[in-house]
Structure 1
């Protein structure tokens, strides 16, 4: 039996009449309804007769904007149910062999590509073997499908936009729930929470943290930090003839000093030449590095810590407590300084003041957010800039092109960089995007399904997790021509290498769970890159740098750059 679709205008005239007899006619039909409605056609009556399914769908004759929206929703629901009916069953999703209790873990760990310091290699091998959707089952982790088709990634993200659930650092959440004196009051913060508790905080902090005016108010101070760091680079170049092998740690110091401006509203002194190794800023950096290492152990391996307190879990608990005590002391000092400040009519509220005055947020909510800003704001931006400097050193033509743009925007600028300057950087921003593509900080983004969904032509059940492997998509020639090459031009408006799928590269995630610190991080990186290219040429003469697995990926080799003052 075929399917007949008649779509009528309010006046009763038939504008479309289709006879569909293919086996997937119901799916085609529902998509036709959805397309007509979503394009704004005010349909009076839409009758769908499916002989094979034996039912009809009748959309009401009464038309209003609300009714049209309801029609779209109804058509979408029909499409979703028919698409599920036409999809292949879950058990047919390809993937490594599943063993009782341990799932696919043995197949992955004993694969020749497995390397605990380079987990992307095993994922690349699995995708090459099984295709763009792969089923993974491991103990202690929800069943998941890994995706490398950007259309599937888009479907996943849109389907979970209203309630974006993810694996949210369960070991860290457990530690916060068990903190001495119930410091967190059983609320772990947006980094580790999901559902209503996550949204309660996220909905209240999103505007203050993502509003452009609030972030640019810190730009002059961030620029001052960058200029201090440029002097630090010049001093190290003169002393050692190149950057020392611990230059990554120097970048950590810059990152903490920068994020401290926003999180704590003050300078921490990380870039002082005489700073002591046992000083609070240096201890904060060391502790955060260790926490990242320990979280990599607890979150990326079999969760034995759920059964008994493993050595890694015990160390993580201790270092988290150390971090909490140090950060809390800094937060208290900032609070005291804010209380002592004499307010004037022209004063702009700091981020901390804005958050403390926000209805629905407790002091503990604000403190937890500040903790997570300090925690997440060190390794991320500093690793990205390490990779970016390496790529520019290896691609001198791109470096020259970037310098020309920076020179044209900044000229002989004597004052601070402004938001107007940043708005004029197009190639600079493309350089950062291309760096993220070639050297992303994470494998991708995960979401837990709240309903059955069709991904890759298969039914993925409610409760399963979908993971977008954006790292591998970024290296895919089908999505990014000349994928192994550093070509920032591909991101420019005219897209010389062709259009780029919006879900093929998501360094900050997407939707309502997009990285809350995105604007802050981008402003830090843009300012840093503009200043370093304005003053120096950068070179690198050593072995190629690769990715090393940590909680976020980092450079595999010491960043022994040479910086030469430009004339």
Structure 2
């Protein structure tokens, strides 16, 4: 008994220990529970806060959308020059001598200055049109029409091809005038070889050979006339046709022969292209009467197009024969024409039509761009000197061959070209016809209206380009010393899925040409200031009478 009592008496210490252990465990559990509860409470509070913030944001967005919807104005409220019933603004346009004007760009600049960045323009001679001149609106237009970029233009060319008596074009017109599914069928198949740098760069050495030959031609002209002759633009046309012929036909056409007679095929092709563009300017811009009766300009266009096709087709067929005559297993370079002929989904006539348009569109565009750029370099010696320094650093006394690695290092040269095309754009802007209603500049524009984004106006806007009238290539360098540039403010090659399919070829041609000119010559110009003559493709207003001197003699 006594022993048992003693045992019992001793146990209170163990019980106390257990009690303390239990108490500690309970405390830990309580604290853990308390922390967990606190965490859950805090999480719940955060969730409630986030939910409230989300609700507030949604409510704000709804209120904003409602406010914007209320703020959107109708098409009738878009500022416009005076309009008359049926005639629209045609009397105003005639009064301001728009029809047939070589300075049509001044009319459009004046419209923007008078009526603002969104202008309505109507005439019975053209589609209902909205002019926009803000980069944000231009970007919205390009993005909204990305899937089906309808561009009204070259309708006369389409009519000629679709209605050809012998059905040569098989009822199709090519990517220049086509829209919708037929346009995309061809465009989607030709854009990879045309836009892929690895394909285009294969022609660098060949283009450089042509350009080096042209440099010698310039030296001969300087010696003969004491400066570049009045028709030096035609000389650049010859270089351009020879260069694009290398890509389109993979052959030399002989355009740079110093004794080239006026009745030679290269000269006839050049003259035909100039005549075709002159006729297109009349039928596409000045009057659409040709849609109802075959006007003289339309008949001339049809005849010139037929003649151009006859000569070009022979060269195309000869080049095609060479391609098809290559032995199986020949591992030589694959030409552009060969790539196109082997492309699934393209017919032989598709390829011929595309090559035809390359020859047709590849002469005036690069030639005029180079004329403007050489002028700017000639009248801005500081820029010319800086470009020559870059060319000397990259090329040195390189006689050839120039490579695409050289071109990749000529960053200032590329800035020079961009700045030249800002000051002297080849086209007024980007054109789209709306498939759906959309808001531009706060106005609801109905579907079916044509919208013209005037990059010409944007490129000259001091608010977008400080010192806009000055030739400052530095503004395009990576660090943007004059401030950020909106990516849709200047679009010399268009944008989106309808961007110029020949862009890489044209840029490569210009880079090679200018690099070789700057490597060898100093350029001067001592005549009247250059302006734009408004045509389908803008042209220099003055003869390119440059004076060149060899830098190394």
Which string of whole-angstrom CA distances, capped at 9 and with x for unpartnered residues, describes residues 284-319 of structure 1? 000000000000000002200011010000000100
Equivalence for 1:123: 108
| Partner-residue secondary structure (3-state), 2:523 | strand
Equivalence for 1:29: 61
| Distance in 2 (alpha carbons) for counterparts of 1:139 and 1:246 | 39
Aligned residues: 509
The match for 2:439 among 444, 454, 461 is 454
Which string of whole-angstrom CA distances, capped at 9 and with x for unpartnered residues, describes residues 521-563 of structure 1? 0000000000000000001111111110121000001000011
Question: Any residues of structure 2 matched to 1:252-401 within 5 Å, and which?
Answer: 252-342=237-327, 344-401=329-386
Q: Does 1:527 align with 2:506?
A: no
Equivalence for 2:457: 472
| Partner-residue secondary structure (3-state), 1:450 | coil
Displacement of 1:339 after TM fit? 2.6
TM-score where L is the length of structure 2: 0.89
Q: Is the 8 A contact 1:26 1:82 kept in 2?
A: no
The match for 1:189 among 174, 186, 196 is 174
Question: Any residues of structure 2 matched to 1:73-112 within 5 Å, and which?
Answer: 83-84=68-69, 86-111=71-96
| Partner-residue secondary structure (3-state), 2:391 | helix
Equivalence for 2:29: none
| Distance in 1 (alpha carbons) for counterparts of 2:212 and 2:256 | 11
Q: Does 1:15 align with 2:50?
A: yes
In proportion to residue count, which structure has more helix? 2
Task: Call closer, same or farther: CA 1:495–1:358 in 2, change over 3 Å.
Answer: same
Task: Call closer, same or farther: CA 1:113–1:266 in 2, change over 3 Å.
Answer: closer
Equivalence for 2:31: none
| Distance in 1 (alpha carbons) for counterparts of 2:329 and 2:209 | 24
| Distance in 2 (alpha carbons) for counterparts of 1:390 and 1:28 | 54
| Distance in 2 (alpha carbons) for counterparts of 1:245 and 1:477 | 34
Equivalence for 1:419: 404
| Distance in 2 (alpha carbons) for counterparts of 1:343 and 1:233 | 42
Displacement of 1:19 after TM fit? 9.5
Task: Call closer, same or farther: CA 1:82–1:259 in 2, change over 3 Å.
Answer: farther
| Distance in 2 (alpha carbons) for counterparts of 1:27 and 1:301 | 51
Displacement of 1:106 after TM fit? 1.5
User: Greater Rg, structure 1 or structure 2?
Assistant: 2
| Distance in 2 (alpha carbons) for counterparts of 1:28 and 1:118 | 48
Higher relative contact order, chain-length normalized (CA < 8 Å, sep 6+): 2
| Distance in 2 (alpha carbons) for counterparts of 1:398 and 1:447 | 36
| Distance in 2 (alpha carbons) for counterparts of 1:494 and 1:178 | 53
TM-score where L is the length of structure 1: 0.87
Question: Any residues of structure 2 matched to 1:157-236 within 5 Å, and which?
Answer: 157-236=142-221
Equivalence for 1:36: none
Q: Is the 8 A contact 1:206 1:516 kept in 2?
A: yes
Displacement of 1:466 after TM fit? 1.2
Task: Call closer, same or farther: CA 1:114–1:473 in 2, change over 3 Å.
Answer: farther
Q: After superposing the two structures, state which structure 1 stretch, 191-200 or 131-140, moved more.
A: 131-140
Q: Is the 8 A contact 1:490 1:498 kept in 2?
A: yes
Displacement of 1:85 after TM fit? 5.2
Equivalence for 1:489: 474
Equivalence for 2:32: none
Task: Call closer, same or farther: CA 1:423–1:503 in 2, change over 3 Å.
Answer: same
| Partner-residue secondary structure (3-state), 2:127 | coil
Q: Is the 8 A contact 2:175 2:183 kept in 1?
A: yes
| Distance in 1 (alpha carbons) for counterparts of 2:328 and 2:70 | 64
Displacement of 1:168 after TM fit? 2.5
Q: Is the 8 A contact 1:164 1:513 kept in 2?
A: yes
Displacement of 1:27 after TM fit? 9.4
| Distance in 2 (alpha carbons) for counterparts of 1:346 and 1:85 | 65
| Partner-residue secondary structure (3-state), 1:563 | strand
| Distance in 2 (alpha carbons) for counterparts of 1:400 and 1:418 | 23
Equivalence for 1:546: 531
| Distance in 1 (alpha carbons) for counterparts of 2:120 and 2:347 | 41
| Distance in 1 (alpha carbons) for counterparts of 2:135 and 2:487 | 8
Equivalence for 1:147: 132
Question: What is the aligned-residue RMSD (CA, Å)?
Answer: 2.1
| Distance in 1 (alpha carbons) for counterparts of 2:352 and 2:330 | 27
Task: Call closer, same or farther: CA 1:90–1:533 in 2, change over 3 Å.
Answer: same
Task: Call closer, same or farther: CA 1:512–1:84 in 2, change over 3 Å.
Answer: farther
| Partner-residue secondary structure (3-state), 2:517 | helix
